[in-house]
Amino acid sequence: MKQEKIELKKQFPSSQRIWVSGEDSDIQVPFREIQLSPTVTEEGTTVNKPVLVYDTAGPYHDTSYTVDVQKGIPKLRTPWIEDRNDTLEYEGRKIVSLDNGFKSNNHKKFVETPFKYQPKKAKTGQNVTQMHYAKQGIITKEMKFVAKREDVSPEYVRSEIARGRAIIPNNVNHPESEPMIIGKNFQVKINANIGNSAVSSSIEAEIEKLVWGIHWGADTIMDLSTGKNIHATREYLLRNSPVPVGTVPIYQALEKVDGSAKDLTWEIYRDTLIEQAEQGVDYFTIHAGVLLRYVPTTVDRLTGIVSRGGSIMAQWCLAHHEESFLYTHFEEICEIMSRYDIAISLGDGLRPGSIYDANDESQILELKTLGELTAIAWEYDVQVMIEGPGHVPMHKIKENQDLADFHCQEAPFYTLGPLTTDIAPAYDHITSAIGAAQIASYGTAMLCYVTPKEHLGLPNKDDVREGVVTYKIAAHAADLAKGVKGAQQRDDEISRARFEFRWYDQFNLSLDPDKARSYHDETLPAEAAKVAHFCSMCGPKFCSMRISHDLRKHNDLKEEGLKQKSEEFVSKGSRIYR
Amino acid sequence: MKQEKIELKKQFPSSQRIWVSGEDSDIQVPFREIQLSPTVTEEGTTVNKPVLVYDTAGPYHDTSYTVDVQKGIPKLRTPWIEDRNDTLEYEGRKIVSLDNGFKSNNHKKFVETPFKYQPKKAKTGQNVTQMHYAKQGIITKEMKFVAKREDVSPEYVRSEIARGRAIIPNNVNHPESEPMIIGKNFQVKINANIGNSAVSSSIEAEIEKLVWGIHWGADTIMDLSTGKNIHATREYLLRNSPVPVGTVPIYQALEKVDGSAKDLTWEIYRDTLIEQAEQGVDYFTIHAGVLLRYVPTTVDRLTGIVSRGGSIMAQWCLAHHEESFLYTHFEEICEIMSRYDIAISLGDGLRPGSIYDANDESQILELKTLGELTAIAWEYDVQVMIEGPGHVPMHKIKENQDLADFHCQEAPFYTLGPLTTDIAPAYDHITSAIGAAQIASYGTAMLCYVTPKEHLGLPNKDDVREGVVTYKIAAHAADLAKGVKGAQQRDDEISRARFEFRWYDQFNLSLDPDKARSYHDETLPAEAAKVAHFCSMCGPKFCSMRISHDLRKHNDLKEEGLKQKSEEFVSKGSRIYR
């Protein structure tokens, strides 16, 4: 791959990456510190403390770091993994042309990556999952890291993971990842999908989307590539990603059989799992709940099967008239996962693709099977999350969370939206943010973003930004509703800045400072307007906030008399008119 | 005003304005008819019936209509109003320079409008409100019109208006309006704010925004102008608006006293009410619930008073140490309203301006007073709605609807969002769409849109489009959740089109066909792609919808055998793995 021309390092204004020590000295947890300007009033100047916010961008937000995508980012977790002394390095699987989508073994055709390493796996008889440690009562460095990130105790993190109610997706072969936790009792997370397709995109573009996505706050990314150089693209992404990377291995397996679902075999799929496990993929979407017997239940749907993985497996089941190999080999899959600590994201291959199909028989049948599979995975101490819909009208959203919690014993729920109406293609980031915020407030742990291009085309950079910021909004709105510790601080600080006409602070505390500032500039570009005690919306005469300040200076309000009178009046029932 | 250069007529692709007869032959109710292409399969071609959707754009969607903003649009309701024989024409109030924001009586300074007419008002002793008729058991033409529009019975419309649970805002001096109804048992409506400010905008721009807003689906518009030529701007808007127009009269009253709140008097305010009543404003926001005694309760707020009207009245109350003249003269206000049939939108002058201030004492005290005022207005048969917040986290939203219903006896609730977090200026159409959809699903009857420029600047055309479409989404999502009759048809039709790869139909049935199509064009611009059985998101190999079609052709699915086996299996509890 040619050296990047694109600028991968991004900064937010008045922000810097800082580190806060965790329980152990080798645990340095990153945050983004936003500097504020002082409050200046007639009474004097008051310093405003900087605000710390959760930061997902890894070294890309570190001013002192030099990006080199050919080298990859630092391997933060390597010493932690090695200290546990339960993995070994081994000669990995050999990469062949087919892994990159080419049939002949002409290696010139596919992109070679510069990354040389031996993969790790569990020593014989060992289980290296975070759930396994948690069940043994061990608090790992990863757990301590996320405890600091979430401002909870390490023991609480351990107990939630042991219980299966939270997961830390982090393959031992992706030591670059900064640990993060997905679970209903933690901050709501968001995932951004990237990946090339047969129709467009390149490795460079995918790395740029990765860094762009995490700059705006994506907590994990999924590489859904289906085109050429799928192995190399994933390798570059993993070596350069500080966030967990998820994939849907059936996509690559299908490429290996030239797109013919009926030619898929358990052996090809298994080999693909190993291939990706050795690269470091942190979670796999596995559509093991699409059973042969469920396929006929989809016939009367308005929009059939809309999950790619689901439709591939349905095709396979019907073609062979056999039960899905993902289901019949599920224990073997779990066994592999436990050697690398890969989390399983149980795919909802039968999710509804329209309001009409929401919460129908197919969907609920599959969900019950996902519950059955969750229990099996947990026997192998494999971390699990459950994928959810899709398209669901608002009044049917809570049922989704409730049924997932019931059937899957509160394993983290990970939904795609849901979209609350079908009538707004080009605005499906919004139709789905409504549903996403709602379902997250009921307990969904991670939200898969939807971009404005959903149903229409592949997202470009602007779409990724719009999708991620929209989903940060949905996640944060749910955090507020759930009362997540400290969540409201950022709201309070930005509102205080707004009320005090600290315009730059208002921009800098927002999810998208550049856009906020540019919108303000459109009507009032002058520097003086950034300290003005009004804006273009109401103008100086009508500025309610300016008036509120004036009101506070009013003598009456300082008089005990009026306040007392007011309380007296209120206590009498607030009626004076009649 | 110089003749418009801007194109005011807009069309949606494959759409035309049609009329459906109401109960009486002189009631012709407009809809937009969207033509669909046929479904073509191996079995043959099936014609798809056109889809009718609610249409707010008036003659601007009528291909045969010639726009002339100097003439105004047809006066649909004039014969209905005159047939009732309870109004008279009279010599209206004389327009002075001050009405247009100029102090001297130099008429050259302000824009003269070409509209010559005598205003109407109720004959002595008459009450001409829709509520008055409804309470007498009279079903008006306006009620019949909205009954057809909403697909309910005219008697139901009458009963909801008599009960105060719905309103039809339509001043007898705005006969151009196509009647629409606002109430929890009808389709959720949206309002778009427009208006110039001291900082920018012109009459031309405001008319363009009006037509642009209703093209995208705004049900009412509010003219919040505060700059020069405020009277003339409003006159142009009313004469050219097929949707009800709302205003906040205190804004103009304040202009008349040069922005000095303490110089406001009941007489100036009353004169402004009459001025606007004679022009035809359909509803007034009146902040009559901001009482002197409530002002001190705002002192400990994070963001004080954020309503312009609220802060103006608080200033006045404190300056005079007197109760608000809006409150003390409320019965006189109702008396005026009843003569023109102007609805009162009781303003929430103490709404919270931040998550921190949501549902606080100030807000709830004012809401109780709005309930008291609602009861008074209803004694005068004046139609009322109640304005609501603002900034509210998701878990506190339902309480707003419940308290409004309780205190104000289910008078239609009309909220601004609410924004569910403060941290995303530049995306507040989204932070608020989440709250708007939620509160509307609980019963809020009309949603005031929020554009991406909220808190930052004045919306331009793009912002109006983005704001209106976003709020159409929120309103429609709530309609689905509430089970509004027929609401799901559009979702079903667009999903069917999507599943059948009728790309143009998918675009044309969407809220924003142009944007949907342009997004599709970005990756697959070729005409052939508009009938292709895949898109750029997954490419042909991974298209789940194509695969779903293939599945349906599968012999097994047609065999009764597999279906039966499937049912048998399901009835046994869907477990085969263990």
DSSP calls for A64-94:
TPPP-TTT-S--TTHHHHHHHT-EEE---PP
Does residue A358 contact residue A392 with C-beta atoms inside 8 Å?
A: yes
The predicted-structure confidence for B90-121, as pLDDT tens digits, reads as follows 999 999 988 988 876 665 667 889 999 999 99
**Residue A575 confidence class, pLDDT cut points 50, 70, 90:** very low
Cβ within 8 Å, pair A480-B395: yes
Cβ within 8 Å, pair A541-B259: yes
Full 3-state SS string of B490-517: HHHHHHHHHHCCCHHHHHHHCCCHHHHH
pLDDT surpassing 60 at residue B3:
no
Interhelix angle A461-482/B428-441, rounded to 10 degrees, is 50
Question: Is B555 exposed, middle or buried (CB count within 10 Å of its CB: 0-12, 13-18, 19+)?
Answer: exposed
Interhelix angle B488-499/B544-553, rounded to 10 degrees, is 80
Does residue A188 contact residue A478 with C-beta atoms inside 8 Å?
A: yes
pLDDT surpassing 90 at residue A526:
no
pLDDT value for A163: 98
**Residue B565 confidence class, pLDDT cut points 50, 70, 90:** low
Other C-beta atoms closer than 10 Å to the C-beta of B427 total 26
Using CA atoms, how far apart are residues B46 and B467, in angstroms rounded to an integer? 37
Cβ within 8 Å, pair B431-A473: yes
pLDDT value for B548: 79
Binding site for substrate, residues of A? 193, 222, 251, 287, 307-309, 348-351, 387, 414
The predicted-structure confidence for B429-449, as pLDDT tens digits, reads as follows 999 999 999 999 999 999 999
Average pLDDT on A259-265 reads: 95
User: Side chain identity at B393, as an amino acid letter?
Assistant: P
Binding site, residues of A? 193, 222, 251, 287, 307-309, 348-351, 387, 391, 414, 455, 535, 538, 543
Query: What is the distance in angstroms between the Cα of A377 and the nearest Cα belonging to chain B?
Result: 13
Q: Residues of B numbered 134-153 whose beta carbons fall under 8 angstroms of chain A's beta carbons: which are they?
A: none
Query: What is the distance in angstroms between the Cα of A382 and the nearest Cα belonging to chain B?
Result: 18
- Shortest CA distance to A401 belongs to which of A432, A440, A449? A440
Among A391, A480, A574, beta carbon nearest to B365: A574
- Shortest CA distance to B296 belongs to which of A410, A436, A568, A183? A568
Strand B384-388 to B51-54 pairing: unpaired
pLDDT surpassing 90 at residue A147:
yes
What does R_g of chain A's alpha carbons equal in angstroms?
Answer: 26
pLDDT value for A496: 96
Cβ within 8 Å, pair A499-B421: no
Among B306, B441, B478, beta carbon nearest to A545: B306
* B351 inside 8 A of chain A by CB: no
* A19 inside 8 A of chain B by CB: no
The predicted-structure confidence for A189-204, as pLDDT tens digits, reads as follows 999 999 876 555 688 8
Strand partners, B286: B346
Interface test with A, best of B403, B456, B559 (most A CBs within 10 A): B456
Q: Residues of B numbered 537-576 whose beta carbons fall under 8 angstroms of chain A's beta carbons: which are they?
A: 537-545, 547-552, 554, 556-557, 562-563, 565-566, 569-570, 574-576
pLDDT surpassing 60 at residue A574:
no
Among A261, A308, A510, beta carbon nearest to B423: A510
Question: Is A20 exposed, middle or buried (CB count within 10 Å of its CB: 0-12, 13-18, 19+)?
Answer: middle
* B437 inside 8 A of chain A by CB: yes
Does residue A37 contact residue A48 with C-beta atoms inside 8 Å?
A: yes
pLDDT surpassing 90 at residue A206:
no
**pTM across the whole model:** 0.95
Torsion sign (Cα): A517, A523, A529, A535: negative
Other C-beta atoms closer than 10 Å to the C-beta of A335 total 13
User: What is the rounded average pLDDT for all residues in chain B?
Assistant: 92
* A193 inside 8 A of chain B by CB: no
Taking contacts as CB-CB distances below 8 angstroms, the residues of chain A near B226 are 538-539, 541-542
Cβ within 8 Å, pair B480-A353: no
Does residue B128 contact residue B341 with C-beta atoms inside 8 Å?
A: yes
Query: What is the distance in angstroms between the Cα of B520 and the nearest Cα belonging to chain A?
Result: 5
Residue B219 has which token pair? 């049900």
User: Side chain identity at A331, as an amino acid letter?
Assistant: E
* A469 inside 8 A of chain B by CB: yes
* A536 inside 8 A of chain B by CB: yes
Taking contacts as CB-CB distances below 8 angstroms, the residues of chain A near B435 are 477
Using CA atoms, how far apart are residues A118 and A284, in angstroms rounded to an integer? 21
- Shortest CA distance to A179 belongs to which of A13, A374, A28? A28
pLDDT value for B577: 40
Using CA atoms, how far apart are residues A215 and A338, in angstroms rounded to an integer? 31
Residue B565 has which token pair? 């086996």
Lookup result for tokens 């807009």: B10
Query: What is the distance in angstroms between the Cα of A56 and the nearest Cα belonging to chain B?
Result: 17
Q: Residues of A numbered 417-436 whose beta carbons fall under 8 angstroms of chain B's beta carbons: which are they?
A: 420-427, 429-431, 433-435
pLDDT value for B576: 39
From residue B525, how far is each of A220, A423, B528, B541, B560 by CA, in Å? 32, 22, 8, 19, 43
The predicted-structure confidence for B37-94, as pLDDT tens digits, reads as follows 999 988 899 999 999 999 999 999 999 999 999 999 999 999 999 999 999 999 999 9
The predicted-structure confidence for B488-540, as pLDDT tens digits, reads as follows 999 999 999 999 999 999 999 999 999 999 999 887 878 777 777 776 666 66
- Shortest CA distance to B187 belongs to which of B491, B494, B446? B446
pLDDT value for B574: 43
pLDDT value for B43: 84
Cβ within 8 Å, pair A498-B422: yes
Residue B442 has which token pair? 């609980």
Residues 6 or more apart in contact with residue A335 via CB below 8 angstroms: A380
pLDDT value for A576: 39
Phi, psi of A101 (to 5 degrees): 90, 10
The predicted-structure confidence for A446-494, as pLDDT tens digits, reads as follows 999 999 999 998 888 899 999 999 999 999 999 999 999 999 999 999 9
CB pairs under 8 A between A and B: 467
* A535 inside 8 A of chain B by CB: yes
pLDDT surpassing 50 at residue A42:
yes
Average pLDDT on B403-412 reads: 98
Output the furthest CA–CA distance in chain B (Å, rounded): 91
Lookup result for tokens 């002075």: B96
pLDDT value for A524: 81
- Distance between alpha carbon B575 and the CA centroid of its chain, in Å? 51
pLDDT value for A562: 63
User: What is the rounded average pLDDT for all residues in chain A?
Assistant: 92
DSSP run (H or E) holding B221: strand B220-223
Does residue B488 contact residue A355 with C-beta atoms inside 8 Å?
A: yes
pLDDT value for A455: 92
Taking contacts as CB-CB distances below 8 angstroms, the residues of chain A near B293 are 562, 565-566, 569-570, 574
Nearest CA in chain A to B294: A566
Cβ within 8 Å, pair A422-B569: no
Nearest CA in chain B to A498: B303
Among A296, A314, A539, beta carbon nearest to B199: A539
Average pLDDT on B293-297 reads: 94
∠ Cα A148 A149 A152 (to 5°): 55
**Residue A111 confidence class, pLDDT cut points 50, 70, 90:** confident
**Region of poorest pLDDT, from A94-103, A116-125, A170-179, B316-325:** A94-103
Among A200, A327, A457, beta carbon nearest to B519: A457
From residue A276, how far is each of A245, A250, A253, A337 by CA, in Å? 11, 11, 11, 11
Query: What is the distance in angstroms between the Cα of A386 and the nearest Cα belonging to chain B?
Result: 18
pLDDT value for A103: 77
pLDDT value for A198: 57
- Shortest CA distance to B386 belongs to which of B134, B221, B167? B167
pLDDT value for A572: 55
Interface test with B, best of A357, A399, A456 (most B CBs within 10 A): A456
Does B545 carry a binding-site annotation? no
pLDDT value for A4: 47
Cβ within 8 Å, pair A547-B395: no
Does residue A502 contact residue A36 with C-beta atoms inside 8 Å?
A: yes
Taking contacts as CB-CB distances below 8 angstroms, the residues of chain B near A361 are 570
Average pLDDT on A414-441 reads: 98
**Residue B12 confidence class, pLDDT cut points 50, 70, 90:** very high
Strand partners, B44: B41
Residues 6 or more apart in contact with residue B460 via CB below 8 angstroms: A522, B453
**Residue A23 confidence class, pLDDT cut points 50, 70, 90:** confident
pLDDT value for A540: 67
pLDDT value for B529: 77
**Residue A565 confidence class, pLDDT cut points 50, 70, 90:** low
User: Side chain identity at B387, as an amino acid letter?
Assistant: E
* A332 inside 8 A of chain B by CB: no
Does residue B452 contact residue B429 with C-beta atoms inside 8 Å?
A: yes
User: Side chain identity at B428, as an amino acid letter?
Assistant: D
Using CA atoms, how far apart are residues A150 and A318, in angstroms rounded to an integer? 46
- Shortest CA distance to B206 belongs to which of B189, B230, B180, B179? B230
Using CA atoms, how far apart are residues B498 and A303, in angstroms rounded to an integer? 8
Does B251 carry a binding-site annotation? yes
* B496 inside 8 A of chain A by CB: yes
Q: How far apart are the first and last CA of chain A?
A: 80
Query: What is the distance in angstroms between the Cα of A348 and the nearest Cα belonging to chain B?
Result: 13
